[in-house]
């Protein structure tokens, strides 16, 4: 029984070592735009003295919209803020610990395309029609 537990623990450590992906820089208050070119990842400074990860996501969204207005075609972009990755996608904004790993839903898109905290969006109740 003991060798089985040791081999299971060793397998878990091996998987944990393999799952380490690209890490984001942890510079205080610096918002980065992340560019992937094949295997290479570049971190371009977008803004400094940014208050929170949500403000960094807003700056990334602003950059994305400006590029679209200039004729760009990139709809999804990535960024980084204090050790976290930010993923701007069609459905909203996701945060993640690594560039390749899992993501957590953070901001949703409203009906007009703006970003909002998911629990804050309130929709009016559906109208019900009565038959006369």
pLDDT in tens, 79-119: 999 999 999 998 899 999 999 999 999 998 888 888 888 77
pLDDT of 122 above 90: no
Q: Which residue has the tokens 């003991």?
A: 2
pTM over 0.85, yes/no: no
For residue 41, what pLDDT is reported?
96
CA gap 86, 18 in Å, rounded: 22
Number of H helices, E strands in the chain: 2, 7
Q: 89 in helix, strand or coil?
A: coil
Percent of the chain with pLDDT over 70: 80
């Amino acid at each position: 029984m003991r060798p089985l537990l040791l081999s299971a623990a060793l397998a878990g450590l091996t998987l944990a070592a393999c799952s380490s992906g690209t890490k984001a820089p942890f510079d205080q208050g610096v918002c980065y735009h992340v560019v992937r070119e094949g295997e290479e990842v570049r971190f371009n400074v977008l803004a400094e003295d940014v208050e929170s990860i949500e403000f960094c996501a807003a700056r990334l969204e602003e950059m994305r919209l400006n590029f679209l207005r200039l004729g760009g075609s990139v709809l999804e972009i990535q960024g980084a803020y204090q050790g976290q990755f930010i993923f701007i996608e069609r459905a909203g904004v996701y945060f993640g610990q690594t560039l390749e790993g899992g993501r957590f839903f953070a901001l949703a898109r409203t009906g007009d395309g703006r970003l909002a905290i998911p629990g804050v969006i309130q929709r009016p109740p559906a109208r019900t029609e009565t038959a006369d």
